[in-house]
A and B are shown apart, each in its own frame.
Chain A
Amino acid sequence: MSLIEIKGITKTYNPKKIPVRALRGIDLLIEEGEFTAIVGPSGSGKTTLLNIIGGLDRQTEGEIIVDSVNITDLSDNKMIDFRKSKIGFVFQSYNLIPVFTAAENIGFIMLLQKKSKNEISTRVAELLKSVGIEAQKNKRPNEMSGGQQQRVAVARALASKPKFVLADEPTANLDSKSTTNLLDIMENLNKNEGITFVFSTHDQRVIDRAHRVVTIEDGRVISDVKVEKVKS
């Protein structure tokens, strides 16, 4: 059983006025442990697809099964609970809570999950270390660089031990050094801890690191390539 099963997904915006067909029938299977990049030009439907997989948006037609749960008909509240426990999000603009420190941002979702204080502090310390920002743990987002903020965002996405992480253009606002650092971190998490990552990107540096590249154009999958990585 695949981790994510996408069956005949379509998405039409403004169906009653001027319909815009963002997705025109996507079928895709994503297995556990994959490091997949969804690529394509602007407006091709990458972000829409990611939002639908993450339950942030609803498809017009089709079915989507995540970790054996058909999320197509989940209610709004159940979807929020599902996201909280199964999916981690990394956004292009980091989207950290500005009034919280790095450590508080990471621990916030665990608090929402009503985890104990001890469990939270242990997990936060572990994640701060794994993304290499222990020194920044008491800093607020406006006191950190873009690269540091994005690493906090990755740590936050992993805090609840999700089944997979959806990252929407995670490197778009980063310089090349920060991009390399971030990709190293995510690749290590994928390799060592088996965390599944699905990116939407048109950053060649991300594409070069991906193990599978799914190309979308005009709302359709036009290619799906698995890349054999040479272990260094």
Chain B
Amino acid sequence: MLLKLAWRNIWRNKRRTLITIASIFFAVLFSIFMNSFQKGAWVRMLDNIVNYYYGYAQIHQKGYWEEKTLNESLELTDELLQLPAQIDGLEKVIPRLETFALLSSGEHTNGMMIVGTDPEAEEALTQLQSRITEGKYFDKSDKALLVAGGVKDLLKVNLGDTLVILTQGYHGLNAAGKYPIKGVVHFASPDLNKRMVYLPLDETQNLLGANSLATSLALKLDDIDDLESVIEQLNEKLDTETYEIMDWQAMIPDLVEAQKTDAAGNYVFLVVLYLIISFGIFGTILMMVKEREYEFGVLLSIGMSRGLLALSTWLEILFMAIIGVILGILGAIPLVYYFKVNPIDFSQYGDEMANTYEKWGFDPIFPTIMDASLFYSQAILVVVITSLLALFAIWKIYRLEPVKAMRE
């Protein structure tokens, strides 16, 4: 009966109820879309940065990340290489031997990053082969390079040309070699595009005098949600005095900070949006309470307890909120889905805008994501806000004097 009373009461003033529901509808729709858009952009950005090179986590010799020198390399033991078989959620380990080197062709010389990697394992993590724009992908036994498009331009070389590498090897060894360019790869990130040079791992170890060594093991997971559990298992399995296990957040703290700053900006917008909506809902509650003081007085007179009256009034307010939330979610689902399938591509709005995003290291493409938490978090938020606002009506009911209410 209370539900019936509350439900019928909200339709006594249809126009006001519809305006209130509409305001909740738009608030929920906008906030779901905004959050989905922002989260989608970050997921893609992370995908660009993390999956293009770092991986979601890495294992190093303890102290490597701080110094980043070959002298802090780790021994590629069977224990490390067999980890995928022993750790749930870990699909593959990608051993890399990384160092900075001078690369030269004719009169052009530049500092680049040499990445010695297992071609097959690298492909599994970063899909490097799919980024080949010229030439072919390399094999494990090749003595040839893959260079990023920007490197090719800086050194003024072409496919098949030979590059000379000069660097310092393991424990100060002089390392020099010359290799032909077998393929050219493209990275969306301009930073990676102008400095990345890949060489098969075995050849890199030979070049640097670092046989069976690697500077990092990038980890490929079955699912990003397994990250925490994989790190936990690795910490138990490996000697943490010898190895350091770092997730992408520890490796790229700047990205985490940027994400937090962006999220904070979004929260400010949502707080302002919900503040405006809250004033609208509060206005409705205020009018409803004022108009119905007499009726509340009568209900108390005939024997309805204050608790039941407050509950019925709270249900009225909650019904409006729930209708608004449901409609908002129903409206947001096709909108979010549309932009998930057809992401906003800022390169269509001019090169300048696209270049701005590319300078920051990610594609100028912004998809939304469909994540259940985006939807139910808004529902919970609106229910909490309306319940808090309903406290005003409840407070008035508990202070109401029936005789006074009926007299006025």
Give me the interface of A with B, judged by CB distance under 8 Å. 51, 54, 56-57, 76-77, 80-81, 83-85, 89, 91, 95, 97-100, 104, 108-109, 111-113, 156, 160
The one of B8, B304, B402 that contacts A112, using a Cβ cutoff of 8 Å? B304
Question: Which B residue's beta carbon lies closest to that of A91?
Answer: B298
Q: Name B289-324 residues within 8 Å CB distance of A.
A: 295, 298-306, 308
Q: Is the CB of B403 within 8 A of A83?
A: no
- Decide if A89 touches B301 in the complex (CB within 8 Å): yes
Q: B1, B298, B303: which contacts A80 (Cβ < 8 A)? A: B303
Whether, in the assembled complex, B211 has its beta carbon less than 8 Å from a beta carbon of chain A, the answer is no
Query: What is the bound-complex CA distance between A77 and B307, given in angstroms?
Result: 10
User: Does B105 lie at the interface of the complex (its beta carbon under 8 Å from any beta carbon of A)?
Assistant: no
Q: Does B173 belong to the interface (CB within 8 Å)? A: no
Say yes or no for B158: interface residue by CB 8 A criterion: no
A113 to B308, CA, bound (A): 12
Contact B303 A99 (CB under 8 A): no
A167 to B310, CA, bound (A): 27
Residue pair A80, B12 in contact (C-beta under 8 Å): no
Residues on B with C-beta less than 8 A from A77 are 305-306
Asked if B189 CB lies within 8 Å of chain A CBs, one says no
Q: B5 within 8 Å of A by Cβ?
A: yes
Interface of B toward A, CB cutoff 8 Å: 1, 4-5, 8-9, 12, 295, 298-306, 308, 402-403, 406
- B-side contacts of A112, CB under 8 Å: 303-305, 308
Given contacts A108-B1, A112-B308, contact A97 B299 (CB under 8 A): yes
A54 to B402, CA, bound (A): 11
- A111:B1 contact, CB within 8 angstroms: yes
Q: Are B306 and A51 in contact (CB under 8 A)?
A: no
Contact, CB under 8 Å: A56 / B301: yes
Assess A56 versus B308: contact at CB under 8 Å? Given A80-B300, A89-B301, A156-B302.
no
CA distance A72 to B406 in the complex (A): 22
Check if B302 sits within 8 Å of A83, measured CB to CB.
Answer: yes
A85: chain B residues within 8 A (beta carbon) = 303
Q: Are B5 and A51 in contact (CB under 8 A)?
A: no
Interface CB pairs A-B, < 8 A, 9: A54-B301, A56-B403, A76-B306, A80-B300, A81-B303, A89-B302, A91-B301, A95-B295, A112-B303
Which A residues are in CB contact (< 8 Å) with B4?
104
Contact A160 to B298, CB < 8 A, known contacts A99-B5, A99-B12: no
Q: Which chain B positions have C-beta within 8 A of A51?
A: 403
Q: In the complex, which of the residues B1, B299, B302, B402 has the most CB atoms of chain A within 10 Å of its own CB atom?
A: B302
Q: Which residues of B contact A104 (CB under 8 A)?
A: 1, 4
When chains A and B are docked, how far (Å) is the Cα of A199 from the Cα of B298? 18
Please give, as numbers and ranges, the residues of chain A lying within 8 Å of B298 by CB-CB distance: 91, 95
Contacts of A56 in B (CB 8 A): 301, 402-403
Q: What's the nearest-Cβ distance from chain B to residue A152, in Å?
A: 13
- B110 → A minimal CB distance (Å): 80
What B residues does A98 contact at CB under 8 A?
12, 295
Complex CA gap A104/B2 in Å reads: 12
